[in-house]
């Protein structure tokens, strides 16, 4: 098929399937895998040149890791060393051992079983990080844990690439050359550090000084490609090199602008990568044999089961609470994109037969497609886990009790703060200043270890959604619960559990979106603080200042906005009707400027004569005279031609009032 016609066909199929997928809340990754299967050489045959598609897809993964590096930092990376080394090593080794043992017990020769252990031990950095980005969970505890383990897997590609050829019989590197290769790795990594610290910041400064967007974009892309190539020469993957390049630029003052340039290209190329993965699968041969389908399902269950267990075990070994450990295991359940490269080398060496290769492809693609659904199921499985294994939550509570005297922890009328980010820390500091006792429940063990040494015994480690932790924090004696955890999926579960345990406690919950406010109120929250609402209020306040309204008038208007808007975020009594919400207020009310025309009714009359409050319900206004704002102290102020009255009302009310300011017989032009 003609290449351009093929692109048009894929575009039409993509639009249709992505639209259907969005309607049924199907993750975009799954849609692209299905599109690739349909458009590939084994189905409709729209695209047959797979190497070209794979090359473009690899560029997408490089850009994806590059953008992740831009948003990360060396400081965060150094803080995550325990996760990278300990967690990553445990996850990789246990997965290799488990997969090798399982396949060997199924009758596969030991050497082949070990090869499959290496191949399947890797997870997909692209899929996991894309899902975390969409969920805004990259910088949460579970996000950092997952990233650390995935980063170790990328680093582990070096020894795997060295070892695997020996097992598949394709030669490989002479072990005598290993010291030389390691020296090469160290030299190139040192070169990268030098570039990051001294060369690239100065280069970017000079490029940015030219104020040419094309030059800046080409420089950013060039740095990404050069660093990726250097790391590849050291035996590392291109994707890891792209991540390192992102880290280098992320440490400069130009990371935000660089990110804005790369994101549109990243999304396009990453989508093509998932298309290329789907194109690899021979759907015709698989679907024609029922036994083949059953075997694929069995392999998928085996892979997902083992990888969930090993991922959760690695996270638990780091001291993470059960919720983070389970989520980590569920997120690492798929086969990684680099596994396809390893499997292809086995196929080229005739170590892996064609039908086994297709079996692996089908199983790997299914695990990738199921990953978004499995990650979404993690919170529900966590609740089930705590009910089936209640001693885990009790153990976390006992650990906290062992490091502080119980009598000292028993408080009365205190605040329980769940989550110790910026907001939680601010609440705790305010409580300290005012002398209000408080307890903090935090899932990050590093934060608990650091803060508890200075403020013992106010910190409890664990999942605030568990009954034992809330019990230990004294929820029955507390007056207020503040829910400010970064994991948005955990907020409703904490609110619901707390309301069940303590019907009289006052619960304040933070949410990102206004649309989630009513759901949290229904679950038991007394008050919801929406980040969208607070941002809207601040923006609205600053917008009013541009109209030169006096501070007193601005305060009065904003106060009314708060009273109306907060009604959406505060639980009403049974007899109180619902009030207008913030979203409705901002859409219906605005500032209108009414200029007094000579000979109009308003000209020469006092403001009270207009009966703005009595007839039109307008209570908030300001007066501009001679281009200066006046604070209106009473309604006896007389208006003169040229004055401008600023009223805060709906468009309909403004039109009703406007005729008072026009000369009789005047019409709109």
Q: What is the pLDDT of residues 248-287, one digit of tens each?
A: 787 776 776 677 677 777 677 677 777 877 887 777 777 7
Q: Is 371 in the same domain as 493? A: no
Q: Is the dihedral of CA 137, 131, 489, 367 positive or negative?
A: negative
What's the whole-number mean pLDDT along residues 125-138? 79
Residue 263 belongs to some domain of the structure: yes
**Last residue of some domain: 493, 511, 529?**
511
Q: Is 21 in the same domain as 150? A: no
Strand order in the sheet with 506-511: 459-461, 438-442, 415-418, 480-483, 506-511, 527-530
Tell me the CA distances in angstroms from 71 to 77, 133, 147, 448, 481, one per residue in order: 11, 11, 13, 25, 32
Q: Is 377 in the same domain as 406? A: no
**What is the pTM for the complete model shown?**
0.61
Q: Which residue do the tokens 């075997």 mark?
A: 295
pLDDT at 656 over 60: yes
User: Regarding predicted confidence, which is higher, 90 or 361?
Assistant: 90
pLDDT at 330 over 90: yes
Q: What is the CATH number of the domain that holds 110?
A: 1.20.1530.20
Residue 214 belongs to some domain of the structure: no
**Which alpha helices (DSSP H) does 86-212 contain, by range?**
88-105, 110-121, 125-134, 141-168, 178-194, 200-209
Angle between helix 125-134 and 141-168 (nearest 10):
170
Residue 556 belongs to some domain of the structure: no
CA distance 117 to 115: 5
Q: Are 44 and 36 in contact (CB under 8 A)?
A: no
Number of neighbours of residue 477 by Cβ within 10 angstroms: 14
Q: Is 53 in the same domain as 145? A: yes
Q: Is 297 in the same domain as 342? A: yes
| Structural domain for 496, as ranges | 399-511
CA distance 91 to 108: 23
CA distance 564 to 519: 19
Q: Is 44 in the same domain as 81? A: no
What's the whole-number mean pLDDT along residues 117-132? 86
Q: What does the pLDDT look like over 332-347, one tens digit per residue?
A: 999 987 787 788 778 8
Q: Is 434 in the same domain as 318? A: no
Q: Are 168 and 349 in contact (CB under 8 A)?
A: yes
Q: Is 375 in the same domain as 417? A: no
Q: Is 260 in the same domain as 146? A: yes
Q: What is the CATH number of the domain that holds 475?
A: 3.40.50.720
Q: Is 315 in the same domain as 382? A: yes
Q: What is the CATH number of the domain that holds 608?
A: 3.30.70.1450
Task: Respond yes or no on whether the N-terminal peptide bond of residue 457 is cis (omega within 30° of 0).
Answer: yes
- Tokens found for residue 443: 């899932």
Q: Is 304 in the same domain as 347? A: yes
Confidence of residue 304 (pLDDT cuts 50, 70, 90): very high
User: How many residues in total does the chain contain?
Assistant: 669
Confidence of residue 556 (pLDDT cuts 50, 70, 90): low
Residue 637: how many CA atoms within 13 Å on its side-chain side? Answer: 15
Residue 562 belongs to some domain of the structure: no
Residue 578 belongs to some domain of the structure: no
Provide the percentage of residues in the chain whose pLDDT is more than 70.
Answer: 76
Residue 71 belongs to some domain of the structure: yes
Element (H, E) at 508: strand 506-511
Q: Are 171 and 165 in contact (CB under 8 A)?
A: yes
**Residue-level pLDDT at 655:** 83
Q: Is 136 in the same domain as 262? A: yes
**Last residue of some domain: 353, 387, 421?**
387
**Residue-level pLDDT at 456:** 55
**Last residue of some domain: 464, 494, 511?**
511
Residue 227 belongs to some domain of the structure: no
pLDDT at 413 over 60: yes
pLDDT at 128 over 80: yes
Q: Which residue do the tokens 């035996």 mark?
A: 235
What are the backbone angles phi and psi of residue 15, rounded to the nearest 5°? -60, -45
Q: How many domains does the chain have?
A: 4
Query: In sequence order, what DSSP letters do the residues of 521-543 get, joined into one string?
Result: HHHT-SEEEEHHHHHHHHHHHHH
Tell me the CA distances in angstroms from 557 to 149, 238, 548, one per residue in order: 51, 56, 14
pLDDT at 407 over 60: no
- Compute the 3-state secondary structure of the chain and give helix, strand, coil in percent, each to the nearest 5: 65, 10, 25
CA distance 324 to 326: 6
What's the whole-number mean pLDDT along residues 600-612? 87
Q: Are 234 and 57 in contact (CB under 8 A)?
A: no
Return the closest-CA partner of residue 116 out of 329, 369, 364: 364
- Tokens found for residue 83: 């996760």
Residue 428 belongs to some domain of the structure: yes
10 Å CB burial of residue 503 (0-12, 13-18, 19+) is exposed
């Amino acid at each position: 098929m003609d290449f351009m016609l093929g692109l048009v066909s894929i575009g039409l199929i993509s639009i249709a399937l992505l639209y259907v997928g969005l309607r049924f809340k199907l993750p975009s990754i799954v849609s692209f895998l299905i599109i690739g299967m349909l458009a590939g050489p084994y189905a409709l045959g729209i695209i047959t040149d797979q190497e070209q598609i794979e090359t473009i897809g690899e560029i997408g993964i490089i850009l994806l890791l590059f953008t992740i590096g831009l948003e990360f930092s060396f400081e965060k990376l150094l803080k995550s060393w325990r996760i990278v080394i300990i967690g990553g090593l445990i996850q990789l080794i246990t997965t290799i051992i488990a997969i090798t043992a399982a396949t060997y017990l199924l009758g596969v020769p030991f050497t082949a079983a070990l090869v499959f252990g290496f191949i399947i031990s890797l997870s997909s950095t692209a899929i996991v990080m894309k899902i975390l980005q969409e969920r805004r969970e990259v910088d949460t505890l579970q996000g950092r844990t997952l990233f650390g383990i995935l980063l170790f897997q990328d680093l582990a590609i070096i020894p795997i690439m060295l070892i695997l050829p020996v097992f598949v019989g394709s030669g490989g590197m002479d072990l005598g050359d290993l010291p030389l290769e390691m020296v090469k790795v160290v030299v190139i990594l040192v070169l990268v550090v030098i570039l990051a610290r001294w060369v690239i910041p100065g280069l970017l400064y000079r490029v940015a000084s030219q104020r040419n967007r094309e030059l800046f974009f080409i420089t950013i892309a060039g740095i990404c490609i050069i660093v990726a190539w250097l790391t590849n020469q050291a035996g590392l993957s291109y994707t890891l090199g792209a991540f390192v390049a992102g880290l280098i630029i992320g440490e400069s003052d130009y990371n935000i602008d660089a990110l804005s340039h790369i994101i549109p290209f990243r999304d396009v190329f990453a989508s093509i990568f998932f298309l290329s993965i789907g194109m690899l699968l021979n759907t015709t041969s698989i679907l024609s044999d029922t036994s083949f389908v059953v075997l694929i399902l069995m392999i998928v269950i085996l892979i997902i089961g083992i990888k969930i267990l090993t991922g959760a075990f690695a996270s638990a070994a780091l001291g993470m609470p059960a919720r983070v450990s389970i989520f980590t295991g569920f997120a690492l359940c798929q086969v990684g994109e680099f596994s396809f490269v390893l499997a292809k080398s086995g196929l080229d060496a005739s170590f892996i037969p064609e039908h086994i290769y297709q079996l692996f492809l089908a199983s790997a693609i299914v695990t990738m497609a199921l990953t978004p659904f499995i990650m979404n199921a993690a919170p529900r499985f966590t609740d089930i886990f705590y009910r089936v294994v209640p001693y885990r939550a009790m153990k976390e509570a006992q650990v906290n009790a062992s490091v502080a005297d119980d009598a000292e922890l028993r408080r009365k009328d205190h605040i329980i703060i769940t989550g110790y980010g910026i907001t939680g820390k601010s609440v705790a500091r305010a409580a300290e200043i005012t002398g209000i006792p408080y307890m903090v429940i935090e899932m990050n063990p590093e934060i608990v270890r650091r803060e508890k040494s200075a403020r013992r015994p106010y910190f409890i480690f664990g999942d605030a959604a568990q009954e034992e932790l809330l019990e230990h924090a004294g929820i029955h004696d507390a007056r207020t619960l503040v829910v400010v955890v970064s994991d948005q999926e955990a907020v409703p579960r904490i609110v619901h559990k707390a309301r069940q345990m303590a019907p009289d406690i006052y619960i304040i919950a933070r949410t990102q979106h206004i649309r989630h406010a009513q759901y949290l109120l229904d679950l038991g929250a007394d008050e919801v603080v929406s980040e969208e609402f607070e941002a809207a209020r601040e923006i609205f306040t600053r917008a009013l200042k541009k109209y030169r309204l006096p501070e007193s008038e601005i305060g009065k208007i904003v106060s009314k906005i708060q009273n109306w808007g907060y009604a959406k975020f505060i639980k009403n009594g049974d007899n109180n009707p619902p009030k207008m919400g913030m979203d409705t207020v901002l859409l219906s009310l605005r500032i209108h400027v009414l200029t007094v025309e000579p000979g109009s009714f308003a000209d020469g009359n006092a403001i009270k004569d207009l009966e703005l409050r009595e007839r039109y319900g307008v209570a908030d206004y300001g007066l501009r005279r001679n281009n200066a704002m006046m604070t209106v102290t009473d309604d006896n102020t007389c208006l003169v031609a040229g004055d401008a009255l600023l009223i805060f009302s709906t468009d309909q009310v403004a039109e009703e009032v406007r005729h008072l300011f026009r000369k009789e017989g005047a019409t709109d032009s």
